[in-house]
Amino acid sequence: MRKITLMLALPLLLGGCGDPSSSARSAQSRDGNTVGVEVTDAWCRATPNGARTGACYASFRAVGANDRLVSVNSSAATAAEVHDMEERDGMMRMTPLPQGLPLAEGRTVELKPGATHIMLTGLTSPLQTGEQAPMILTFESGRTLELLVPVRAGADG
Ligand SMILES: [Cu+2]
């Protein structure tokens, strides 16, 4: 099986050239404590040759309380879902997470190629390197985050 490189998503936020919109934080103060979800290193993989589906990745960290990513919407696609990957009979298969993506307080949950991802289906146009895909993330807590997610080529092209 092909080895999957896991360290793809890191360079986005470095230095002054990082795109700040790939990172966002939904936070509010409650009893003097910050509660919210931090999203960092968001990116979508560029789609080749008119593919109608795409995948996006990001790191999530719930701050101050547990939360759950319950839905994703993007005007770049007719539908967006959180998918997990599992191996069955030697094949990697994608399975939607009907309960959403649980976010345990203080723990970073990393979406990455070959693992959990946000799947965009029915792309309205190809995801091209250098563009940004708008995305609205809704959490169980009722908080929402709007992101402009940069599109770039995957390292395995
Ligand atoms: Cu998928």
> Mean pLDDT by 10-residue block, N- to C-terminus, for the chain (157 residues)?
36 36 64 83 91 95 96 96 92 92 97 95 94 96 95 75
Q: Report the C-alpha gap between 73 and 106 in whole angstroms.
A: 25
pLDDT of 26 reads 66
pLDDT of 34 reads 78
Dihedral over alpha carbons 85, 151, 126, 57 (to 10 degrees): 20
pLDDT of 27 reads 61
Exposure string over 41-66, b if 16+ CB within 10 A, otherwise e: bbbbbbbeeeeeebbbbbbbbbbbee
pLDDT of 7 reads 32
Domain 24-151 has CATH 1.20.1530.20: no
Q: How many residues does the chain have?
A: 157
How far does residue 113's CA lie from ligand 1's centre (Å)?
A: 10
How far does residue 119's CA lie from ligand 1's centre (Å)?
A: 5
pLDDT of 4 reads 38
Beta bridge mates, 82: 118
How far does residue 137's CA lie from ligand 1's centre (Å)?
A: 17
pLDDT of 18 reads 40
How far does residue 29's CA lie from ligand 1's centre (Å)?
A: 35
> Is the CB of residue 73 less than 8 Å from the CB of residue 142?
no
